[in-house]
Amino acid sequence: MKKGYSFNVGGTFAGISSFVNDDDVDVTMMAIDYMGGRVNVQVSEEFAKQYEGRPVGADVRAEGSVLVAGGKFRLLLEQVFFEGDKNFVPLSFEDAVQGLIFTGIGFISRKRHWIRKDDTLSCQIDLKLFGASLTDFQVAPEVYKTLPEGQVVITGQVVSEVKKDYKGNLKSSNWFNLLAARGEERRRVRAEN
């Protein structure tokens, strides 16, 4: 069973920034804009120096891993291709809209829904991922209807935000929207006589 989560994202290069995180560690991030949002992927200083001269607004594709710890989603870059690179595949409109998509194994242990006082439907699940348990996790009603309980392969979107705190320091946070989950079919092996 593959335990990790992998991501891919296509959009436009929005620059590289550095800041000190809550643990007083220097963090360098590459920002990629997609239609409707931005995602920030952690990169090494060497990577930042290699790509800091790239023009902001250039088309880019990136792939990597998603680490989930305590309900936080940390993005680690493994490959990047800029417009003009040998292996770059041009972006489609769908690429520009979807943002950062990741996939991997999860487990839905409970589903529940109810009608609020304002007549809107509220849907929640308990979702276990490698590295976190998301209890009372809100999902869109159209996604909720399609979700099975038990072991699933999830498809999610990670959204990033970098903003200043009350001290004026930059902080980065990522959250995730569940887009789909399908039941994980177990393979049955037949003994041949």
The answer to whether 34 touches 10, Cβ cutoff 8 Å, is yes
**pLDDT tens track for 102-121:** 899 999 999 999 999 999 99
Please enumerate in sequence order all residues whose Cβ is within 8 A of that of 188, keeping only pairs 6 or more positions apart, or say none: none
pLDDT at 182 over 80: yes
**pLDDT tens track for 61-114:** 999 988 887 767 888 888 899 998 888 999 998 888 888 898 999 999 999 999
Q: How many residues does the chain have?
A: 193
Please state, in angstroms and rounded to a whole number, the distance separating the CA atoms of residues 115 and 110: 18
pLDDT for 191 equals 43
Average pLDDT over the chain reads 84
Task: Specify the pTM.
Answer: 0.73
**pLDDT tens track for 12-36:** 999 988 877 667 778 888 889 998 8
Q: Helix H segments across 35-168?
A: 45-51, 93-98, 141-144
Range with lowest mean pLDDT among 16-20, 32-36, 133-137, 143-147: 16-20
